[in-house]
Structure formats: C-alpha cells, structure tokens
Amino acid sequence: MFATPFNDRDGYIWIDGQIKPWRDATDHVLSQGLHYGGSVFEGIRSYEGNIFRLHEHTMRLKKSAELLNFKISQSVEEIKDVCKEMLFLNGITDGYIRPIAWRGSERMDLSMEGCTVHCAVACWEWPPYFDTQSGIKLFVSRWRRPGEDFIPLQSKTAASYCMGTLAKTEADNAGYDDAVMLDPDGYVAESSASNIFIVVNGVLKTPKSESCLNGITRQTILQLAKDMGLKAEEDNITPEDLLSADEVFVTGTAAEVTAVIQVDNKKYKYGQITKQLQQAYVALTSDALVLNQAA
C-alpha cells in the first residue's frame, strides 16, 4: 500500500512546537508512550486542500488524552492551525493528517506521574484504503474488542489498536480484506479500524457506541441517514444478524464508506442504501463550503 517507508521521507513534521525535516522528527526509544500504550492519535482526511471535520477530530484528540489521564498543552485552535500549516508546507491537497500525543521518557514504570506530554502532527498523501467501488471481504476474527471496563473505548488510543493489528494481519493472511471483531459479550463491535453498518429490511443498524469507538464518520453517516429519511438504529448486533443482513458496509476516515460483499462464506449485494449513503458522503466531502465550516 505504501511504497516508501515512513521513517525515510521528504517533507516536514511539527513536533513540540518546532517544524522539523521529516527524518529528524524523532523521540527517545524509552518514551513511556511507546512501552506502555500511553499515546493517543487522530486520523483526518483532507479533500482538495480542505480538512474534513477538523474541529471534531481535534476535540476528540484532547478528550482521548483526558480519558488516559494526561493533558495536551496545546489548545484545540493551536492544533487545528498546525494541521493546516503542515498540509500547506508538505504541498498536500488530498491526504491524511496524523496528530499524535504521547507520554515522555522521564520514568520507565507504569505510573505516569511526572511524565511530560509530547505532541506532533504529520501528514502524507493517502491512496485508497479499500476498494470503495468493488467492495471488500471480511471474516469474523477470533480476536475481540475489549469492554469499557478494560479500556476507555472512546479514547482513540494506540493501546486499543493492538487487537486490531492482530485481527487485520490474520485477515490478510487468510485472504480477506479485513476482520469483524466481536465485543466481550459476543456482539458485533467493529472491524479492525472501522465501524460496521448493516441493512435489514430497509432499516440501517449499527452496533451501540458502548461496544465500539463512536467514529466521526459513523456519526456523519447516522446524520446523513436521518437527513435522507432513512430509519437508523443503534443496537446490539449478533453475528447471526450480520450474516442474515441484506447489506453491510464499513465507515471510517480511512475506509470512508465501503461496501462489504462477503463475510466468511456469506455474500452480499452492493445494495441501494449503501450506494445512497456512499454518494451522499462523497458529496459532503466534496463540498468546500461545508468542509471549511467544519474545519
């Protein structure tokens, strides 16, 4: 997917208030965030130079840190300005922006007391994550998402993506595009890094936010469905519900809106509701006025 390694690129990265050449944007190997999962991040897309839902993503970055009991010193507006500056300096119009914050190397144990908090923003050109035209194939993974009493689910923390990397690698090795992950109670939670929607008898359904990250694209699709007059529900979804659905699709900053054409051995049609919501999302992200207001 990416031909050039991420440690050896031209361009610029903002880190702790300084703009550095890409290859010089480094931190110490004994940072606590690297060893004990003490980092939070965002993935944000830009379309034709306009950053989609920048304010919402930046607010969530700050909230994610608070849920992990640390504070990012930069304000929401400061981080937003840096995201725009990095996009400009790197000459990117259609790309992906990665703000990240992590705990430093002042101590190497499980207590975060006294650790500094670092913050960085990088961006790069972003090829399609999935084939949004043909659809993707998923399988139900043996790896599960943790419950809210295991980790703060609404914190977009690197720690919670460990299971996702295991599930995605397992899917790749099995010849699928991605994995369906269940929650501790056996209900459908999300994919390795995307939210899941199903359509049953014309009704749009998605897992309750108590079992998954309440993604910003997820929220956007629920609002678009409401605007289009579609019935949409947040509910517990069993694997049997998933396999008996009429349509399935996934959503996320990377995935955007991507149809699912197969889960395990069950195949699905690329249905009309999926197409309608996909078209509405593309129209929304192409609307410069809406994008600038959202940013």
Q: Are 162 and 175 in contact (CB under 8 A)?
A: no
**By CB neighbour count within 10 A (0-12 exposed, 13-18 middle, 19+ buried), where does 234 fall?**
middle
Choosing from 84, 156, 168, 205, the catalytic residue is 156
Question: Who contacts 26 (Cβ-Cβ below 8 Å, separation ≥6)?
Answer: none
Q: Are 132 and 259 in contact (CB under 8 A)?
A: yes
DSSP state of 157: B
Instruction: Report helix, strand or coil for 251.
Output: strand
Q: Cα(168)–Cα(24) distance, rounded to whole angstroms? A: 30
Q: Cα(46)–Cα(223) distance, rounded to whole angstroms? A: 20
Q: Are strands 232-235 and 203-207 parallel, antiparallel or unpaired?
A: parallel
Per 3-state DSSP, the chain is made up of helix, strand and coil in percentages (nearest 5) of 30, 30, 40
Q: Are strands 256-263 and 136-144 parallel, antiparallel or unpaired?
A: parallel
Token pair listed for 108: 């190497």
Concerning whether 62 is annotated as a catalytic residue, the answer is no
Q: Which residues are catalytic?
A: 156
